[in-house]
């Protein structure tokens, strides 16, 4: 009986640990720059590209920790040609994950389910990387250089304009006339009846 109780208590303790671990997986950020991936703060797109180039192996490690290693190569290849904008991110901005260095030192670490919780917006570089039918939006805060995935969406399908509806080709009128009498002499009156004629594209005026 005592052994059973111990087993039950152990299972309950394990369940509580897993629950706490799940809760702790979410990260709330109130300040940028305390655990930067890069120092000093970035001030230009040139700074950003140089940082990524010079820290390629650590960037690769970050993608591996995020369990998105397949995105590393297209990320590094396309970031140098994609459109990069500086955007302000308001309170409540959410990111799937973000990799960083604790206090700016040591190995790369990953945070998942990250929310910005500060009334003051932060500035960051934002750009899209397209890969295998999806567009992945990345954000890199200027203050710390941390690399974050904001979200992914399917590549928009091109809108195909409907083919113009053309009117049918014009068809020639069909003449069906009769002459009476069939044989006549010069000076005699004849009657021509064309009432059986038709025009598929219009109306024959019959008198």
Q: Does some domain include residue 80?
A: yes
Q: Does some domain include residue 126?
A: yes
Task: Give the separation between CA 6 and CA 160, rounded to whole angstroms.
Answer: 67
Q: Does some domain include residue 38?
A: yes
Task: Give the separation between CA 28 and CA 6, rounded to whole angstroms.
Answer: 36
The model's pLDDT over 97-106, given as tens digits with 9 standing for 90+, comes to: 999 999 999 9
Alpha helices in 33-71 (DSSP H): 45-54, 56-65
Q: Does some domain include residue 9?
A: no
Residues 6+ apart with CB under 8 A from 174: 197, 198, 199, 200
Q: Does some domain include residue 98?
A: yes
In percent, the amount of the chain with pLDDT more than 90 equals 62
CA distances from 179 to 172, 185, 186, 195 (A): 22, 13, 15, 12
Q: Shortest CA distance to 37 belongs to which of 137, 117, 124, 167? A: 124
Q: Does some domain include residue 191?
A: no
What is the band of 20 on the pLDDT scale with cuts at 50, 70, 90? very low
Overall average pLDDT of the 170-175 stretch: 70
The model's pLDDT over 102-134, given as tens digits with 9 standing for 90+, comes to: 999 999 999 999 999 999 999 999 999 999 999
Q: How many domains does the chain have?
A: 1
Average pLDDT value for the chain = 84
pTM above 0.85, yes or no: no
Predicted pLDDT at 95: 98
Domain span holding position 39 = 26-154
Q: Shortest CA distance to 112 belongs to which of 18, 27, 17, 20? A: 27
In this structure, are residues 118 and 30 in contact, taking their beta carbons and an 8 Å threshold?
Answer: yes
Q: Exposed (0-12), middle (13-18) or buried (19+): which is 76, by Cβ within 10 Å?
A: middle
Predicted pLDDT at 196: 67
What's the alpha-carbon Rg for the chain, to the nearest Å? 38
SS3 of residue 135 by DSSP: strand
Q: Does some domain include residue 149?
A: yes
Overall average pLDDT of the 62-67 stretch: 98
Predicted pLDDT at 86: 98
Is a pLDDT exceeding 50 seen at residue 24? no
Q: Does some domain include residue 186?
A: no
Per 3-state DSSP, the chain is made up of helix, strand and coil in percentages (nearest 5) of 25, 30, 45
């Amino acid at each position: 009986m005592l052994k059973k109780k111990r087993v039950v208590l152990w299972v309950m303790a394990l369940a509580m640990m897993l629950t706490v671990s799940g809760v702790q997986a979410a990260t709330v950020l109130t300040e940028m720059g305390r655990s930067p991936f890069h120092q000093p703060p970035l001030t230009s797109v040139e700074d950003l590209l140089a940082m990524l180039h010079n820290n390629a192996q650590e960037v690769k490690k970050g993608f591996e920790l995020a369990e998105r290693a397949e995105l590393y190569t297209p990320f590094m290849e396309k970031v140098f040609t994609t459109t990069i904008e500086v955007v302000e991110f308001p309170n409540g901005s959410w990111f799937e994950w973000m990799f960083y260095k604790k206090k700016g030192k040591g190995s790369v670490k990953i945070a998942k389910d990250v929310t910005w919780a500060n009334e003051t917006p932060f500035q960051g570089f934002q750009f899209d990387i397209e890969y295998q039918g999806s567009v992945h939006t990345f954000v890199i805060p200027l203050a710390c250089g941390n690399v974050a995935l904001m979200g992914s969406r399917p590549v928009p399908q091109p809108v195909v304009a409907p083919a113009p509806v053309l009117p049918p080709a014009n068809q020639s009128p069909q003449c069906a006339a009769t002459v009476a009498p069939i044989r006549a002499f010069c000076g005699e009156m004849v009657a021509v009846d064309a009432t059986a004629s038709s025009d598929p594209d219009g109306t024959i005026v019959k008198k």
